[in-house]
Structures are given as C-alpha cells and as structure tokens.
DNA sequence: CGGCTTCCTGAACGGCTGTTTAGGATCGGG
DNA sequence: CCCGATCCTAAACAGCCGTTCAGGAAGCCG
C-alpha cells in the first residue's frame, strides 16, 4: 500500500468534492483527477463513503497543521490570534488545487450527521483547534496583553463566528467577503480581549 | 395543482433530508412519508434537485416566520433579542416531525455552492433575518437599552456565531449543547450591547 | 531465473433510482 | 349525464455507478 498514492487519492477526493459537490462526486471523477482507473481507488479504500470521510479529515488536518506551524513563528499572543483569524478567511479558489478547508465543511457536517466516526474525528480536531486558541488567550492574559476573560468561552465564540462568517463568504453573500470577515472577527476579538472585564 | 399537497411534499422532503441525509434521500423516501407514489412527487416538481432546493427554502421560511411572530409579542429590545437567541438553539429532534431548520443547513450550504438560485434565496432570507436584528438593536439603542454600537456589524457577528454554535450542538459536540449555546450567545450580546463603547 | 508481492487495469455485474408514459379514478360544471 | 380537468398510480425505461473479479505488468528477493 503506497502511502503517497493513498495521499494522492485523498487530495483528489477533496478537490473533487470542492468542485463537484458532495452528492455529485463519483469515484470516476476522483480517479480521473490523478489519471488512474476507478478500480484503483477502491483498492486503497474499502468503500466510497469511507473515502469521502477520510478525505475531509485529511484536509482538515492539513489545514490545522499548516496554521499551527505559522502560529509558532508569531511572537505575541495578539499576533498569533491575528494570524489565526487571517488564515481562517477563505482565499481565492484555484481550479485543480487543494481547496480551502471551508469548501468541505458543509459536506463534512452533512456527512457527520450520520457517520459517528466522522463526527468524532471532526470533534477531536475542533477541540484541538479551540485549545490552541485557549492557550493563546491564556498566554496573552498572563503577559498582560489581554484582559482576564474566560478563554474557553472565547474560543467557542470565536470559532463559531469564524465558521458562520466563512459560510457566508463562501456562498458569495454580497455583504461578507474575506476582508469583511476578517474585520468582523478582529473587531470581536478586540472587544472581548481589550475591553474592561 | 393543489397547494396543500405541494406543501405536504415540501414538508416530507425536509423530514427525509433531516433523517436520511442529503445524498441518501431518494424520491421514494419522500413519497413514502406522505403515502403517495414516487411519480406524484415528480408531478408537483420538475426535478429532484429543484424539489430539494425548494424544501430547504421552505423550511427556512417557516422558521423565519415563526420567530418573527414571537418577536412581535416581546416588549423590549432585550426581550426580543433573547427570544431570537433562544429560538435559534436546537430543540430535541422528533422523529417524523418537521426538523429544526438547523438540520438542513449543512445540506443547504452544500447545495447552494452549485445552485445559484438556491444561493440567492438563502442570501435573501439571511438578509431579512439580519435586518430583524439590526432593527431590534437600533430600537434598543434609541430606547437607551443598549450602547451605541454598529448594529449591522453586530447582526453579522451574532448570526454567524449562532450558525457556528448550532453546527457544533447539532453534531453532538460534548462541550456545546443547546443550553451552552444559548449562554454563549447571550454572553456575547451582553458584552457587545451593554459595555462601554 | 522463478515465484511472490505490490500496484494497477479492463470489463462485467448488479442493483438502484430518477424520470417518463399511458392510463385510471374522482369530481365539478355545463 | 357527460366531459374535461385535476390528481394520482403502476409499470417500464434507461442509464448510471459502486463494486467485484480475473488477470497483467513490474519490481524484489531468494
């Protein structure tokens, strides 16, 4: 079982879902993206549903790791938070490249409603994500950068807001693009972290 | 074209999607819920995709109208806002009954990515929803209940946060149930509306 | 070299499901 | 009563697509 080929398939699946949509993605589409036969896809994954679920988690993990790396290089808690927000905003979508992980979120949520394994994997990643925020905020409080708020509450509020804003930006809501999304999330953070307790 | 039968089908479609998921919902499932033949469903709707899209908008509109009614009966802006938040939290899901509109949101978002008409309908409803919030907040500011914040920004932040929290609650995230969701949204609103500008 | 494993494919299978069609029932109005 | 419109169904159609299977190429190891 070549591990790189396996990753190829996961990448291709993410691309296919992003471009064609969850329901319209066929195994043949995935195979075509990397130029192999449909049978090979089922050689690496037991079933289509399992592949789809794995691909979503795969893309999420890539995103999580990429952002985690960037966070380490930021000096202050505030810098880290700004990077985290900026990275959460959707960039321009490029045909054939790995999509923003946003593009797969509705599909992930929809599938997770009936796939307990996927739901649990998603929850685990989400918790890791939020705990990053908690750490940043608590460090910021300790350093005197932020006021003493409940970091856990804030992390839940911020991630929820980012999710919601990203959906609107993704769907082309004329009042919410990536810039506005970033602005709103930053304004929220400022208000929560800088104001009087 | 009996209008009530049409509504029956839309209701049944919403139920089917909520229970079986977007991709797994077949026309036969929808027909079975109301005890008619699959052919009849296609007598009222030109195609399956059109039916699915209509059903999502249908449920959204029901939700919007139901909440709008309840809002009218609340005296103060703060009361209205609390009702709006409370109604946004998912209730216990009942087999066979109309689902919370949350249950269809991931499906709606997923479909809207490739269905411009659905995307536009969704945006329109979302704007109506947010403009309700803007009105409430501006009334509250005028009445001296709230501090003078940007109502439009707040409406975007609050709806996004509610969307995001609802997703986590819906997926059974152990740290976010309906009660916690309500608490977090209320805490956010209090902080934004009651603090110093 | 010979055989085993790994990676891969073409082709067939099998079932499912959206959609169409032809026609039956029911009912209201002329 | 008769006719048309409305509402509805059974059955067939048509094509698709996930999955399986039998086997081939390519490399590796003894």
Nearest residue of chain B to residue A192 (CA atoms): B191
User: What's the pLDDT tens digit per position in B96-117?
Assistant: 899 999 999 999 999 999 999 9
Tell me, what's the pLDDT at A36? 98
DSSP string for B28-93: HHHHHHHT--HHHHHHHSS-HHHHHHHHHHHHHHHHHHHHHHHHHT--SHHHHHHHHHHHHS----
Long-range contact pairs involving B10-14 (C-beta distance under 8 Å, separation at least 24): B10/B51, B10/B54, B10/B55, B10/B58, B10/B59, B11/B58, B11/B98, B13/B51, B13/B52, B13/B54, B13/B55, B14/B55, B14/B56, B14/B58, B14/B59, B14/B98, B14/B99, B14/B104
Q: Is the CB of A1 under 7 A from strand C?
A: yes
Residues with CB under 7 A from strand D: A 26-28, 38-39, 42, 47-49; B 1-2, 5, 35-40, 43
With a cut of 70, which residues of chain A have pLDDT below it? 197
Which pTM was predicted? 0.95
B175 has a pLDDT exceeding 90: yes
**DSSP character at residue A61:** H
- Between vectors from CA A168 to CA A118 and to CA A94, what angle results, nearest 5°? 75
DSSP B74-141: --SHHHHHHHHHHHHS-----TTSPPPGGGGHHHHHHHHTT-HHHHHHHHHHHHHHHHHHHHHHHHHH
Maximum CA pair distance of chain B?
61
Nearest CB partner across the interface for A163, out of B167, B180, B188: B167
Residue B50: pLDDT band with limits 50, 70, 90 = very high
Task: Measure in Å the smallest separation between the Cα of A44 and chain B Cα atoms.
Answer: 23
CB-nearest partner of B173 from A106, A126, A170: A126
pLDDT of residue B197: 62
């Amino acid at each position: 079982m070549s591990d790189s080929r396996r990753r190829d398939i996961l990448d291709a699946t993410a691309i296919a879902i992003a471009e064609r949509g969850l329901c319209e993605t066929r195994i043949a589409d995935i195979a075509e993206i990397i130029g192999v036969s449909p049978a090979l896809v089922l050689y690496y994954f037991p079933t289509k549903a399992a592949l789809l679920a794995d691909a979503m988690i795969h893309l999420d993990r890539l995103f999580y790791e990429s952002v985690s790396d960037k966070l380490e290089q930021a000096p202050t808690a505030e810098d880290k938070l700004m990077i985290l927000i900026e990275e959460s905003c959707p960039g321009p979508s490029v045909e054939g490249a790995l999509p923003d992980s946003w593009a797969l979120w509705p599909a992930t949520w929809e599938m997770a409603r009936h796939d307990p394994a996927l739901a649990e994997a998603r929850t685990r990643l989400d918790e890791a994500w939020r705990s990053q925020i908690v750490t940043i905020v608590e460090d910021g409080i300790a350093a005197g950068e932020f006021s003493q708020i409940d970091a856990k509450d804030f992390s839940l509020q911020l991630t929820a807001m980012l999710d919601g804003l990203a959906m609107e930006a993704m769907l082309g809501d004329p009042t919410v693009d990536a810039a506005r999304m970033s602005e709103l999330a930053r304004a929220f953070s400022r208000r929560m972290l800088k104001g009087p307790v």
